[in-house]
Amino acid sequence: MRGPNPINKFKNLGLGVMTVPYGGSTEQEEFHPGVDFANEKGTPIPATVDGVVIEADGGHVQGENNFGNSVTIKDANGDSHQFHHLQNIGVKRGQQVAKGQVVATMGNSGATYSQSGKGDGTHLDYRIVSAYGQYKNPMTYLKNL
């Protein structure tokens, strides 16, 4: 007997369906250093750690060649947790946030596309960059959310 499907676990968290795992590939990247989740536009995005918002970059629209609207939270270890392609941002730079607190909503700003060709590309791209500048697998944090 196999264990529970990990994709279903994230559906229960409200993030949606994992469309690209850590190390997978996208149209933009051969090695995707984050995880992507698809869900409806406006889906709440929780902070995955306690920390301080070091970036809250809004004003982007779909089709720009960038990460779109983004929030970055620095945790106590100095790791930066990046949330990209957001619709709305609900935090400000310098703000303290708590794990589980809604910081933004899912969107399709920046360089997004639909893998199936049937959607508008709405998704969350979640990445972690260590204090030493190395990408980390976000699954560790998502499993503890």
Does 126 fall in a domain?
yes
Residue 142: what pLDDT? 82
**Mean pLDDT of the region 104-128:** 86
Alpha-carbon gap, residue 79 to 84, rounded angstroms? 16
What CATH number does the domain containing 10 carry? 2.70.70.10
Q: What percent of the chain has pLDDT over 90?
A: 68
Could you tell me whether strands 34-38 and 17-20 are parallel, antiparallel, or unpaired per DSSP bridges?
Answer: antiparallel
- Looking at every residue in the chain, the average pLDDT score rounds to 88
Residue 93: what pLDDT? 98
User: Which of residues 92 and 4 earns the better pLDDT score?
Assistant: 92
**Mean pLDDT of the region 64-88:** 96
pLDDT in tens, 7-54: 444 555 678 888 899 999 888 889 999 999 999 999 999 999 999 999
Does 1 fall in a domain?
no
Total domains in the fold of the chain: 1
